[in-house]
Amino acid sequence: MRAGVLSDDQVIEFLNENFINVWVSNVELERTPRKQAYMARRRKELSKTFDRTHPLAKAIMEGWKEHSPVDCLVIAPEYDVMGKLPLNDFFDACFRSGTPEEDAYLKFLEDSLDGKLPGFNDETSGAASSDLRVVLNSEQTEQEILDILRTPRYGYQDYTVVEIDATAFEDGGTLIINIRMGTAKPGGPFDLYDSDTKLPTKGYPDDALTSAWDIPSGQIGRIRHCFDEGKVFKLGATGTWFNEKGSINAFHAKVSVEAD
């Protein structure tokens, strides 16, 4: 890094103007079993070690990629991870695309500040529908979604929308959505709508078919909705109004239909 992107004047200037730059050793965070065993011995010799229960430490551990030796993370003052960049993957991608490393790294920083959550799409592409669309039928009665929600200003809505296509169930059924929140600070309400309902951007979700209100960080919730004929639904996920505006959290939703 020091001989590459961190030797670029434009990158350094952008970092110094917009960030508090720190680094933490993987040894201190006990990232592997070998490092855990080493730190267990070191604690007997040291009067003070890194506090792994601190919110910053938790954010780092939430953001790193398994088996990545070095990760660059952008973390908000509220300890929400805004961008994640495993550096081995970064260097490989730059080599394959021919993109200068300093340009790609600067874009990563800018996208993080713009709320585009770089690195999150890579993480969810294999585990969830990248277009946030679920299609259920008799052969596939269950599907999973992994994405993020963002906290709006108080009194407003800022939905991450999941389209749920259950038209194959012509005689209706019961739509079941099991939701688990990530471990970042914001909790989240989830509102289910008919596909032709215009989603509100302000006020309470009065037109929602049903809701799971304010599922806390790290906790689970469920939506159940009976329908008489096949149709398309929209699930809106947003942050609870009582959290910091713009703060984010991940959510995992398992969507299924029990046919009548």
Tokens representing 171 are: 């005689």
Q: Which of 147, 110, 141 is nearest to 127 (CA)?
A: 147
Provide CB contacts within 8 A for 152, sequence distance 6+: 158, 238, 239, 241, 245
Residue appearing with tokens 């660059």: 72
Average pLDDT, consecutive stretches of 10 residues, N- to C-terminus, the chain (260 residues): 80 92 85 82 76 83 83 87 88 87 93 81 41 87 89 90 96 96 89 94 94 93 96 96 86 92
Q: Which of 5, 197, 14, 177 is nearest to 87 (CA)?
A: 5
The residue assigned the tokens 């300093």 is 102
Spatial distance between the Cα atoms of 35 and 49, rounded to a whole number of angstroms: 13
CB 206 within 8 A of CB 168: no
> Does residue 108 contact residue 82 with C-beta atoms inside 8 Å?
no
Nearest-angstrom CA–CA distance, 186 and 170: 37
| pLDDT of 2 | 64
What angle, 0 to 180 degrees and rounded to 10, lies between the N-to-C axes of helices 87-97 and 101-113?
Answer: 120
pLDDT at 68 (0 to 100): 85
The three-state (H, E, C) secondary structure of the chain, written as one string: CCCCHHHCHHHHHHHHHHCCCCCCCCCCCCCCHHHHHHHHHHCCCCCCCCCCCCHHHHHHHHHCCCCCCCEEEEECCCCCEEEEEEHHHHHHHHHHHCCCHHHHHHHHHHHHHCCCCCCHHHHHCCCCCCCCEEECCCCCCEEEEEEEEECCCCCECCCEEEEEECCCCCCCEEEEEEEEECCCCCCEEEEEEECCCCCCCECCCCCCCEEEEEECCCCEEEEEEEECCCCEEEEEECCCCCCCCCCEEEEEEEEEEEEC
pLDDT of residue 107: 93
Tokens linked to 161: 């929308």
How many CA atoms, within 13 angstroms, populate the side-chain half-sphere of residue 71? 23
Give pLDDT, residue 23: 87
CA distance 227 to 173: 6
* Amino acid identity, position 54: H
